[in-house]
Amino acid sequence: MLDRENRLKKHILDLGFAVVGIARAEPADRFDEFEQWLAAGRHGTMQFLADHAIQRRHPEGILPGVRSVVVVGLADSVPRADESRETWPPADGPNSGRVARFAWGRDYHQAIWRRLDSVETWLDAEVPGCRVRTVADTAPLLERGFARRAGLGWIGKNTMLINKHWGSYLMLGAVLTDVDLRPDLSHDTSHCGTCTACLTACPTQAFSAPGELDARKCISYINIEVKGRFSEFERTAVDDWMFGCDICQDVCPWNRKEVSPTPRTDAVALLTQTLGEFRDRFTGTPASRTYRKGLARNAAAVLGNFGTPDALPALRKAVADTDPAVREIAEWAIRQIESRHSGISSTGLSSRAD
């Protein structure tokens, strides 16, 4: 008969998780480096990281009396085409933008939480009266460090957890409990070798050194976490990324099994959608974090970087948007397009005589 730990793991894998491991509830890895990262301001405007920093020192800050941390990983694969049509308007060409794979379907947090509820029920039946707390980006836990301790992989030069089989396309969650579970062997070696593909591929040079990320230069941070107006750097840094960014993962050799193309979406449609259309389309998805105004701002920036004159009518309409950040980027995008296509006048008509 399987022991408790292996029965728990089987239950978790049967729920659809790709990986699971157990770590002791001990002080977090490299917490001093995390504090130094915060002190240098590299977290940008993510003040929640600083506000709850001390709680990340030990999982006791989340669950007093915790003995074990069970870390799980959900594979981040691109959903079916019919699911994508329900969320992001599919498109290609210069008036479209890329969307990070994790955001193409429904909110992965919901998928993890539903499964972890079942794990909590299982543990309560196995050890009546035990204390359990399930988390998925909802509590101050340094998940990747505990995932490494649980044997799920190593921390790559792009700061992502990398698993030999699944690469880095894993969404992490954890179960904290006061049940004393036998831990797995930690993953104490790195398999990045001399590879620096992720560091050199980043177009904004967000990595100051292997394993050191300045979030303020990260495209995912810029088009998701930055609220309000884009700086001159930020509006061009997003390139053609509408939401998130996968570059440092796409180039990683450990993700070679991920062959699906990066999804693209219609920037003009997202710029012109109403609040009601945004809610109908994006409620329950990661994109809801930016609200309509954030996604419209991102769309205007993408069009400013790569759009064609076909996008000018939508951008001119956006100049009257209720949000000042959208108005500002729309005006900038119009100037960018007109500069690239010098034959376009301020009315959108050819300035050349026939």
Name the residue among 24, 289, 70, 255 with its Cα closest to residue 173.
Answer: 70
CA distance 132 to 103: 28
Place of tokens 């008036």: 95
Indicate the residue type of 204.
T
Active site residue 239: no
Instruction: Give yes or no for a contact between 234 and 188, defined as CB atoms under 8 angstroms apart.
Output: no
Helix (H) or strand (E) holding 35: helix 31-39
Contacts of 175 (CB under 8 A, 6+ apart): 69, 70, 72, 116, 119, 120, 123, 132, 133, 134
Catalytic residue, candidates 92, 137, 180, 280: 137
**Chain centroid to CA 249:** 11
Q: Give every CB contact of residue 353 below 8 A, 6+ residues apart in sequence.
A: none
With CA atoms as reference, report the closest residue to 316 among 331, 336, 338, 299: 331
Six-digit token pair at 150?
């649980």
Amino acid found at 34: F
Residues with a catalytic annotation lie at 137
